[in-house]
Amino acid sequence: MIIGEQKPLEEIKNLVAEYERILVLGCGTCVTVCFAGGEKEVGILASSLRMATRIDGQEKVIDEATVQRQCEWEFLDAVKAEVESHDLVLSMACGIGVQAIVERFPDARAAPAVNTTFLGLPEEHGLWTERCAACGNCLLDLTAGICPIARCAKSLLNGPCGGSQQGKCEIDPEVPCAWQLIYDRLKAQGRLDRLLEITPARDWSTSRHGGPRRLLREDLRIE
């Protein structure tokens, strides 16, 4: 899922400072699951802003709404009236949601209350870690299901490097070395011979290096 983290309240106060009617808009999908921008977080942020701005002597209208997904037009259309009746949409979705708002409602002003951090999973309660870099050319079959693009600091295709120490990455003793993980899993599966194969330099044009990406499926088009 997309993982996000709410911005500091002080930064959000600055984002809304020049506006009087603010709609705090949550998203019911990824950011709900990672506790960054779902209905509950919308309620907490809206209440916090009401109190904080009032203490600062500002009288603002701060309303709340949450849609199932901010990244799809039909769900956004459900809050068209609310968006149009406010000066600012303070989006608690990922960066896709914020952009979807201004694409769907060209006159709307939108600001992000959440920093979109990475694509990952909840390893345990309260801990999320990165798993996918959305590089557009998945090679997990070669690496025992562990992504060296997202989880190796150098995105090495033939690791580990010399910075792998006691199974951890030299950048941070909390970060597992992805290639150590790959080695351990291949060994447990009796497939260490896989490491004798050299993975050639890859074509990075499917990743961000090729510019903004686009996916078109003619079979799904209706016009």
Partner 1 sequence: MGDCHYLEGNVRAERRVAYVKGLLDKIGLGSDRLEMHFISSAMGREFAQLTTGMTERMREFGPSPLRERKTSS
Report CA torsion sign: 208, 211, 212, 216: negative
In the complex, the smallest distance separating the C-beta of residue 162 from partner 1, rounded to whole angstroms, is 39
Give the separation between CA 83 and CA 123, rounded to whole angstroms: 36
Give the separation between CA 152 and CA 3, rounded to whole angstroms: 19
In the complex, the smallest distance separating the C-beta of residue 189 from partner 1, rounded to whole angstroms, is 36
In the complex, the smallest distance separating the C-beta of residue 41 from partner 1, rounded to whole angstroms, is 12
Contacts with partner 1 by CB under 8 A lie at 8-10, 44, 48, 51-52, 54-57
Beta carbon nearer to partner 1, 17 or 51 = 51
Give the separation between CA 180 and CA 166, rounded to whole angstroms: 9
Nearest to 115 by CA among 4, 3, 1, 2: 4
Contact 149/138 with Cβ under 8 angstroms? no
Q: Which amino acid is at 64?
A: E
Beta carbon nearer to partner 1, 51 or 171 = 51
In the complex, the smallest distance separating the C-beta of residue 55 from partner 1, rounded to whole angstroms, is 4
Beta carbon nearer to partner 1, 36 or 83 = 36
Q: 212 Cβ partners below 8 Å, 6+ apart?
A: none
Beta carbon nearer to partner 1, 1 or 49 = 49
Give the three-state DSSP class for 217. Answer: coil
Beta carbon nearer to partner 1, 8 or 173 = 8
In the complex, the smallest distance separating the C-beta of residue 54 from partner 1, rounded to whole angstroms, is 6
Question: Distance between the two ends of the chain, CA-based, in angstroms?
Answer: 30
In the complex, the smallest distance separating the C-beta of residue 57 from partner 1, rounded to whole angstroms, is 7
Beta carbon nearer to partner 1, 52 or 111 = 52
79 CB-contact burial (10 Å; exposed 0-12 / middle 13-18 / buried 19+): buried
